[in-house]
Amino acid sequence: MKSLTTLLLLFISMSLCNAQTDLEIGSVYIKRAEQSYLDNEMGKAREYFDKAITYIKEINDSRVARIGTILSFDIKDYTKAKILAQRYFELEQEKTSEDYFEMLELYVTIDEAIKQRAIEEERNRLEQLKLAKEKRRLDSLTNLWHEKSQKFYIEIDSIGDFNKYNLAIYKSKDYLGIMDDYGRILMKADTFPHAIAYDGYIIFMNDLERPTRLFCFNSKTQEKFLLPDVTAFNPQAYDYGEIMLPRANGLLVTYPKNCKDVVVFNLNSKEFRAIEDKKELLKNLKKNDIIDKYDKDLNVRIEKQWYAIGNSVGGNFYALFNEDKELHGFISASDGRVYTSDYYSNFGGFCDNKFQVIENGKTIWMDAEGIKYYSNENLSGAYSGTTKFVKTDQGKFKILQKDKGKDVLIKGNETLHLLEDFIEQRSK
């Protein structure tokens, strides 16, 4: 029993000794912290103070509370500074010292800083609420705009230039159609993969080299119709062959295969043109020494060669075919000049004193006197509107038009301001 009592007393003695040692070590670090503070080395002072606190389990010295308050205030840890300052006032007995009044002044400053921080935190909280509310509003408007904008996008592959009638050829899934500058479809792209356009007419074809179906669209009147089958012109014709440019007077010339003639179709009257009285024509050509002679089958001889005379492409020009039903060229009934197809392969319809002529595979223009021109006015005209078709990154097209100097989306009779302007309008 005596031995147990001795051990207990020894343990208590060692604990008290160790506690005393911790306080002494803590005191050393407090002194270093105070000196570093006086030397204006605040970082080092805080480092010493933090070490001191690891040894001082409870602050029972006003000096420790004072330096802790000052260092906490320096890093704007006002809550900790206030707690330490209150501990200082609890421990400090000398209420009239200069340090006491300095701490009192610092305490007031700390208290004011805490209140100001609370005000700022509340202001920040309210500002965050306001920003969150504004974000929700903007997100809602943005989602609404995206929902509304979907119907303004057009899923087509491409679109050509608009003419003066505000119409253009568009392409969708390998087929061609017609759309106006408001995105309205006047002819759906689901039947014809090829088209040519000139002088306000658009001719659609089911095949580029040997078309059997032609469809006409008149840009000016917006009338559209399917041309008759080529066999209605000549039962032996396989197809319409090469298609020349349609002209403003409605003449469309084509060169069907296996046919000793040229198709001349009037797009206005919707009928094939033909020589009304070929025999009377040949009499006049013979009389005017344009041809040497003609036979009972109404073939003509020119410079000892026999030809079949075909349709007129206008301008008093007639097609000539050899015995193999091949196009030999064109003869002017006015002066007898022959324009052979080995150089001038095809003539288009005559309009405004000019033919379209294919020379060495390229289009040129020629008047009735044989004078060549390398350009001609396309009466389809130039587009004068402000609409722009813009392809998006998703491959769709959007239609933009100006409204009071700003771009808006349009489709048909509907408009939608762009996102930024849409939000701005609803923020007023």
Does one domain contain both 268 and 396?
no
Does one domain contain both 293 and 402?
no
Last residue of a domain, one of 350, 373, 396: 373
Average per-residue pLDDT in the chain? 91
Does one domain contain both 342 and 398?
no
For the chain, the domain total comes to 2
Does one domain contain both 219 and 355?
yes
- Encode 284-314: b = buried (16+ Cβ within 10 Å), e = exposed: ebeeeebbeebeeeebbebeeeebbbbbbbb
Does one domain contain both 224 and 260?
yes
Does one domain contain both 342 and 387?
no
Does one domain contain both 272 and 184?
yes
Does one domain contain both 386 and 355?
no
Q: Is residue 214 in a domain?
A: yes
User: Domain span at residue 187?
Assistant: 155-373
Q: Is residue 258 in a domain?
A: yes
Dump pLDDT digits (tens) for 346-393.
999 999 999 999 998 899 999 999 999 999 999 999 999 989 999 999
The residues of the chain scoring below 50 in pLDDT are 1-17, 19
> How many angstroms separate the CA atoms of 120 and 161, rounded?
61
- Give the pTM: 0.75
Does one domain contain both 165 and 233?
yes
Size of the chain, expressed as the number of residues it contains:
428
Q: What is the structure's pLDDT at 20? A: 63
Alpha carbon 159 to its chain centroid, in Å, reads 13
Does one domain contain both 294 and 209?
yes
- Name beta bridge partners: 309: 320
Q: What is the structure's pLDDT at 11? A: 43
Distances (CA, A) of 400 to 53, 141, 405, 411: 71, 20, 12, 9
Q: Is residue 69 in a domain?
A: no
Task: Compute φ and ψ for 103, nearest 5 degrees.
Answer: -70, -35
What is the secondary structure of 131-144 as a DSSP string?
Answer: HHHHHHHHHHHHHH
What is the secondary structure of 276-330 as a DSSP string?
Answer: S-HHHHHHHHHHTTSSSEE-TT-EEEETTEEEEEEEEEETTEEEEE-TTS-EEEE
Does one domain contain both 326 and 402?
no
> How many angstroms separate the CA atoms of 40 and 81, rounded?
18
Sheet order of strands, 293-294 included: 293-294, 299-302, 305-314, 317-321, 327-332, 338-340
Does one domain contain both 210 and 268?
yes
Q: Is residue 170 in a domain?
A: yes
Dump pLDDT digits (tens) for 188-243.
999 999 999 999 999 999 999 999 999 999 999 999 999 999 999 999 899 999 99
